[in-house]
Structure 1
């Protein structure tokens, strides 16, 4: 269905999806013409789609005419049995990890060729990070992303064949070097990224054991490079992974 956007073969649903994915990840309101540019859609098409998405609750329109993500999408997302099962098993351990370390703690899952952050525990003691729930980041530049890569040697070749873009000057973008790093990290059972996603931050992350019905996942701790203590953090992280996996085993048995 070509629709009125002048894009043959592009359905209305696909154009609406592009609109929603173009909404800023940080939740900031955006003007519809700017949203159209980000979604690569004609402005007239974007205005029509925005009006319909507002009516359906997928977008909210603010008094100044800008739009932001609506609650209807959050409600639909909360119906995901897979993510709900994973979050419910992990959240108690994420919170305890934060209580013990005072650092940001993330749960991420594989989404296409990126890591999607689905849960986070932090507070006033934690350093600022770029990673927020609902955001995606590169697998090779993030601790949880690299931890997920450790469990997927069968498609590592395909991933390393893509362009590895730098997030900071420390991001490993050379495929051969990254392959060597991943091999060493797979042998030790955890990933460690140093200032590869955010300058000044270090992330130590460990994958959850792959299991049917759940996406590949990992949890990670992000700390300041000057204070990150791998010797102290690693046992706490390992204990949390063991507890999450035990809880997932119980829910599977039930």
Structure 2
């Protein structure tokens, strides 16, 4: 008979400090010592001491109203861990699925400012196809992958977008009020559609990949010449890429 595996020892001070930090990260406003100690079932003295340590390390700040809030250092650490994730590996099965189902070019793109960068792709198997290289970029507002990310993060990106709606084809949306409507359509249908807004007669469909907090950091996309689009293509391709992107997002939640 084999011995049962031993439960790892947990440092109580560290675990309590992380409990406080997680609580503050999730809060919309600062919290005081009394409120935190009550919610986390800690003594006030212990809560205060741990808060002072977190302030010294730069993860928490003491506000003028005597409450405490998480700093951007917490976000920076989380962001670094996301950047170290191998998104290509995580998304590979979904990209293969989209390629098999459509035969068209499939992209994995990440957000970089007001552009998307293509970090992986599977080429189309059809004689007439769209093409962008791995490492290439495109404006966020006029390709399927970018529009999907933009729609999810629109509240914080709209102001910057307003002065950067550059036209590339006759179909590019260059008025922010028209783009507001486009974002609403994207949200309602569940996927983004580029009707030839970056390159004439090259269509693309995109759906965002999100972190557990809902921020869109990447997107999957299907790109094809308009001549390849079947009669029922919009809904079919849009729903396929939505399903695939959701699967990748679920993998991120389990990490």
Shorter chain as normaliser: what TM range?
Answer: 0.5 to 0.7
So what's the TM-score if we normalise by structure 1?
0.61
CA shift for structure 1 position 221: 0.7
Q: Residue 134 of structure 1: SS of its match in structure 2?
A: coil
Return 149-158 or 105-114, whichever deviates more.
Answer: 149-158
Does structure 2 conserve the Cα–Cα contact (< 8 Å) formed by 1:86 and 1:248? no
CA shift for structure 1 position 234: 2.5
- Of the candidates 221, 232, 237, which is equivalent to residue 233 of structure 1? 237
CA shift for structure 1 position 142: 0.8
Match of 1:109 in 2: 110
More helix by share: 2
Does structure 2 conserve the Cα–Cα contact (< 8 Å) formed by 1:204 and 1:221? yes
Taking a change above 3 Å as real, the CA distance of residues 236 and 126 of structure 1, as seen in their structure-2 partners, is: farther
CA shift for structure 1 position 176: 1.3
CA shift for structure 1 position 139: 0.6
| Aligned-residue CA RMSD (Å) | 2.4
Taking a change above 3 Å as real, the CA distance of residues 191 and 84 of structure 1, as seen in their structure-2 partners, is: same
Q: Residue 132 of structure 1: SS of its match in structure 2?
A: coil
So what's the TM-score if we normalise by structure 2?
0.61
Structure 1 runs not aligned, ≥5 long: 1-79
How is 1:85-164 mapped onto 2 (pairs within 5 angstroms)?
Answer: 85-125=86-126, 127-164=128-165
Does structure 1 conserve the Cα–Cα contact (< 8 Å) formed by 2:104 and 2:129? no
Does structure 2 conserve the Cα–Cα contact (< 8 Å) formed by 1:104 and 1:127? no
Return 91-100 or 226-235, whichever deviates more.
Answer: 226-235
| 2:205 matches 1:204 | yes
Match of 2:3 in 1: none
How is 1:70-85 mapped onto 2 (pairs within 5 angstroms)?
Answer: 82=83, 84-85=85-86
CA shift for structure 1 position 113: 1.6
| 2:247 matches 1:243 | yes
| 2:156 matches 1:175 | no
CA offsets, 1:99-151, max 9 Å, x none?
11011111111101211111111143264435221112101111101101011
Bigger radius of gyration, 1 or 2? 2
Does structure 1 conserve the Cα–Cα contact (< 8 Å) formed by 2:144 and 2:206? yes
Taking a change above 3 Å as real, the CA distance of residues 249 and 179 of structure 1, as seen in their structure-2 partners, is: same
Does structure 1 conserve the Cα–Cα contact (< 8 Å) formed by 2:191 and 2:239? no
Structure 2 runs not aligned, ≥5 long: 1-80
- The structure 1 segments of at least 4 consecutive aligned residues displaced by more than 4 Å after TM superposition are none
Number of positions where the alignment pairs a residue of Structure 1 with one of Structure 2 = 172
**Alpha-carbon distance in structure 1 between the residues aligned to 2:165 and 2:131:** 19
